[in-house]
Amino acid sequence: MPRRRRRRRKRRVSAFHVLFGTVPFTPHHLTASPCPRVPTASPCGQPLEEGGCERYTLRWYYSQRGAECRPFVYSGCGGNANRFGSRHDCELRCGGHCLRLILAALTNLGG
């Protein structure tokens, strides 16, 4: 009786597997999906609003298009909750740094 050949199931590889060495790194890992989209109800999902006053200060907002935190000049009043005092605060709240961390870790795997 002839043996049936089993189809190999394609193994899904997460960033965790690549980062922690449970699978070898290959260039196809760079096509992993970016950070998940942020719900528009959260401050991170709101559009950039600079406000309408003249007390200008540097602030940070989360850009969904770029999936990262970016600086902007805040007018001092108005605007919305997508406004943070530092890049660190923005990244803690919105997670815009996850793709950068994954790519940096993948780059360092080569030694």
Q: Per-residue pLDDT tens for 80-103?
A: 999 999 999 998 888 754 555 555
pLDDT for 72: 97
**Same structural domain for residues 105 and 81?**
no
3 found inside a domain: no
CB 82 within 8 A of CB 62: yes
Q: How far is CA 78 from the centre of its chain?
A: 27
Which tens digit of pLDDT belongs to each residue from 16-49? 444 455 545 455 444 444 455 566 668 998 999 9
Q: Domain limits at 90?
A: 39-95
83 found inside a domain: yes
**Same structural domain for residues 80 and 102?**
no
Please list the residues that pair with 84 across neighbouring strands: 60
pLDDT for 36: 56
Nearest one of 8, 31, 6, 5 to 18, comparing CA atoms: 31
**Same structural domain for residues 51 and 69?**
yes
pLDDT for 33: 46
C-alpha to C-alpha distances, 109 to 3, 13, 26, 57, 65, nearest whole angstrom: 40, 16, 10, 39, 28
**Same structural domain for residues 43 and 91?**
yes
